[in-house]
Amino acid sequence: MKRKLLLILGFFFCLVFTAKATHQRAAEITYTWLGGNAYEFTLTCYTYTPSPAGLQRDSLLVQWGDGAEEYIPRVVLQNLGNDYTLNVYKRIHNYSTSGTYTISMEDANRNYGVINVPNSVMVPMHIETELVINPFLGYNNSVQLLNAPVDRGCVGKLYLHNPSAYDPDGDSLSYRLVTCKGQDGIEIAGYTLPQASQSFDIDPVTGELRWENPVIQGEYNIAIMVEEWRHGVKIGSVVRDMQILISHCNNDLPEIQCDEQFCILAGEQLDFVISASDPDGDNVTLTASGAPFEVAVSPAILHPEMAFGVQPQMEFLWNTNYAHIRKTPYQVVIHAKDDSSPVSLTNVKTVSINVMGPRLTNFTAEVQGHDAKLSWSAYPCPNATALLVYRRAGCDGYIPDACETGIRDGYQLIATLNNTATTTYTDTNLPQGIAYEYRVLAQFPDGALSIVSEAACVILKNDCPLMTHVSNDDTDLVSGHVITRWVEPKEIDDQYIAPFSYALTRIFDGASSTVYEGAETSFLDANVNLAEANTLLYKVAMYDAHQQFMGESTTASAVMLSASGTDNEAYLSWTEIVPWMVDSTLIFKEMNNYFVNIASTSGMEYTDMEVEPDAYYRYYVATYGHYTLEGIVRPLVNYSAIKTVQIGHEEPTEEFSYVLPNVFTPNDDGYNDVFEPKVTGIDLIVSAKTVIFNRWGNILHDTDDPLIQWDGKNKLTKMDCPPGTYFYICDITYQSETGEEKLHLQGSITIVR
């Protein structure tokens, strides 16, 4: 009798516990920045209405992620029908400093009978939201999820859902499915994604959840993480734990009719029609949500706001303006819900709208001596943060596609103009013999770029000689003697009297000397060994019959090859600072006493993996280029010196290593802001010399500091060098076990801003 009583009491307590605990269906935490380090947090929960726990939860405990916790009050309690109750909790919290914080809430129990959560009534619901406070990235508001996290579907019928995430800051969003969490934030043991006859996944870009197709009726919980990205850096995330009720029903999804993608210039009106119908003949309720309806200035409108009927129809109307320009497209999520019984189904369609910045107009380029003066009409968008000036060698003249913003590959950023009222820019000291194409576009606060301007092309008057070759003697590559060649200008002023003569200057490791004077347009410099030079450049001056100076060519360098070996590879890199366009480079390797072409590249480095340990290999490279000026021989072929590599032998020794990066980001964000080496054994360095220059040979930075510490500025102008590729030569003398040794490094460094 006593045992029977205990069983009855146990059963009674179990019923009472279950009645109180069967509770949480769905939840999420979002936040709004109030200023400084203060944020208002909103906890949204959907609960099982019959549970007594619903009324008792007038506050819930939230962990703020900074060691503090607090019960936050409920401000909304609303019965939605069908056993769903909406609960909204709010509280402001101040953080003491920058950092990354995980805000979480854990409530005792989920509702009873969730198919893919074993013993769900005994499993807490744990949700998390990540907040990143980083002044360098700017303060952040979380995404707002405009579509409710409770939904219904049918067995054997396609299920679609979209949380309709809106980011107030215009950050890029990505979506992924994560495992639902339980007690102490641990992933629920035995949790599985809902069973599907074909697939269950989410589109990482649009956030559209596709379940094709549900197999078993019942309730299911899933978790969707929405992550925010700014300038490629994650700046926050929200995890939504949502519930889907699947029933047996004979119903098909309504159909939505409208285009899926639009692009429009800011300031223009976007107007299109949305309609829907149902294959079963049911009435359909048509609604839409998304960022265009939420923007503070000139939001989009629907007419009517909700349409109902057998073939409902509504008009989307948006008078865009410059404030709407942003990098990521706006999303409009359209919902078409039928009125079938016992289960109504909702179809979802995501429409992408790209609001583009207009192009700069009346763009022209004019030659003024050795400069190109660019001009354009004042840019109309007051929210533009900079105008970007681009140049490329050769005239492409492409016309951007209708929805294309930014600029295509092959252009070099030469200037960032922070004064967006500027209408001119002068590109100075251009080499002759090359046609140059210019483009200008606008940049906006989030990194969005406008449509690019039309092309403007210039070519300088060819009134000076042009260097064409600074090459290792291809008839005797071992000697390292240098062949130089140049061509006479095609546009000689009438004031100059023939015959003409030339003076060739050699700049060998910084020391200048005249090595040839005469009427010829080529010279074999037999007094140098290219293999022993750190830097080697030439330029040629031209004189008339009265020795009147007529002009001077741009400096051209030899192809300077550097080679090193490790245990399993040979690494080659080279620099060539020349006034002509370099199209490609062929790599040659000595095999069976002959040099064989083993590769071709448009870059300035190559790694040979086809090597054997403890072996020696010899290499050279040949570059192929051209001037755009007609009448000059092409291709212009120039050879490097021969370099020997020993595999399995690394320089420098084990006590000392000195490695230079190939990219840095001088944007004052505290990360990778200067060009500096990764070095061990710095106390072994006896002396150091580093020179950094642009493709025209202009020195931008030179230093004896072995740590270099270049901040990306021009040493003369003190201005930021534009993003792009620059070149360095670095010579280190260090103390080894056997005495002083030298390390020569050369290569390229790319600035990314």
Condensed to tens digits (0 to 9), the pLDDT of residues 269-318 reads 999 999 999 999 999 999 999 999 999 999 999 999 999 999 999 999 99
Closest-CA residue to 167 (of 125, 93, 108, 226): 226
Q: In b/e form, how buried is each residue of 376-394, taking b as 16+ CB within 10 angstroms? A: beebebebbebbbbbbbbe
Taking the CA atoms of 591, 474, 603 and 732 in sequence, report the sign of the dihedral they define.
positive
Beta partners for residue 264, in sequence order: 355
Q: Could you give phi then psi for residue 53, rounded to 5 degrees? A: -60, -25
Regarding the domain delimited by 255-356, which CATH topology (the fold level of the hierarchy) does it fall under?
Immunoglobulin-like (2.60.40)
Q: Hey, what CATH topology would domain 466-646 get?
A: Immunoglobulin-like (2.60.40)
Distances (CA, A) of 204 to 27, 158, 172, 227, 467: 21, 19, 11, 10, 53
Q: Taking a C-beta distance cutoff of 8 angstroms, is the pair 409, 453 a contact?
A: no
In the chain, pLDDT over 70 holds for what percent of residues? 95
Q: Tell me which residue of 337, 349, 151 sits closest to 252, measured CA to CA.
A: 337
* Pick from 626, 581, 572: nearest CA to 599: 572
d(CA 514, CA 516): 6
Residue pair 360/377 in contact (Cβ under 8 Å)? The answer is yes
Burial 629-665 (b: 16+ CB within 10 A, else e): beebeeebebbbbbbebebeeeebeeebebebeeebb
Q: Which of 286, 208, 275, 282 is nearest to 250 (CA)?
A: 282
Helix (H) or strand (E) holding 298: none
Percent with pLDDT over 90 in the chain: 72
Mean pLDDT of 630-653: 82
Q: Which among 345, 408, 402, 429 has a CA at the least distance from the CA of 695?
A: 429
pLDDT (tens digit per residue) in 436-472? 999 999 999 888 999 999 999 999 889 999 999 999 9
| Three-state DSSP class for residue 667 | coil
Which fold would CATH assign to domain 364-459?
Immunoglobulin-like (2.60.40)
Secondary-structure class of domain 657-751 per CATH: mainly beta
Interval 127-141: pLDDT, tens: 999 999 988 788 999
Exposed, middle or buried, 179 (CB in 10 Å: 0-12/13-18/19+)? Answer: middle
pLDDT value at 77 more than 80: yes
Amino acid at position 387, single letter: L
Q: Where in the chain is the domain with CATH 2.60.40.10?
A: 255-356, 364-459, 466-646
Do 133 and 193 meet the contact criterion of CB atoms below 8 Å apart? no
SS3 11: helix
For the segment 140-160, the average pLDDT, to the nearest whole number, is 95
- Quick: pLDDT tens for 477-508: 999 999 999 999 999 999 999 999 999 999 98
Q: Taken in order 68, 71, 75, 80, is the CA torsion positive or negative? A: positive
User: d(Cα 390, Cα 363) in Å, to the nearest integer?
Assistant: 13
Predicted confidence (pLDDT) at residue 5 exceeds the cutoff of 60: no
User: Rounded to an integer, what distance in angstroms lies between the CA atom of residue 638 and that of residue 623?
Assistant: 5
CB 262 within 8 A of CB 307: no
Q: What whole-number distance in Å separates Cα of residue 405 and Cα of residue 441? A: 9
- Distance, in Å, from the CA atom of 613 to the CA atom of 85, rounded to the nearest integer, reads 72
pLDDT reported for residue 20: 42
Task: Give yes or no for residue 431 having a pLDDT over 60.
Answer: yes
Q: What is the pLDDT of residues 404-419, one digit of tens each?
A: 999 998 888 888 899 9
* Locus of tokens 């009265």: 546
Amino acid 136: pLDDT: 79
Query: Residue range 537-556: average pLDDT?
Result: 95
User: Which tokens in the block code for residue 728?
Assistant: 């360095």
Q: How many helices (H) and strands (E) does the chain have?
A: 2, 55
Phi, psi at residue 462, to the nearest 5°?
-90, 80
Residue 193 is given by DSSP the state P
- Angle at the Cα of 105 from the Cα atoms of 100 and 107, rounded to 5 degrees: 165
Q: What is the residue-wise DSSP string for 222-250?
A: EEEEEEEEETTEEEEEEEEEEEEEEE---
Q: What is the DSSP string of 75-125?
A: EEEEEEETTEEEEEEEEEEE-SS-EEEEEEEEES-B-TTBTTSTTGGGS-E
Give, as one character, the DSSP assignment of residue 553.
Answer: P
Query: Which whole-number Å values give the CA distances from 200 to 169, 193, 239, in the listed order?
Result: 30, 8, 18
Distance CA 467, CA 463 (A): 13
> Is residue 36 a contact partner of residue 139, using CB atoms and an 8 Å limit?
no
pLDDT digits (tens, 9 = 90+) for 54-72: 777 899 999 999 999 999 9
CA distances from 395 to 234, 251, 292, 625 (A): 39, 60, 39, 16
Write down the residue that tokens 């072929």 correspond to: 637
- pLDDT tens profile 652-692: 444 688 888 877 888 776 778 899 998 888 889 999 999 89
**Helix (H), strand (E) at residue 732:** strand 724-736
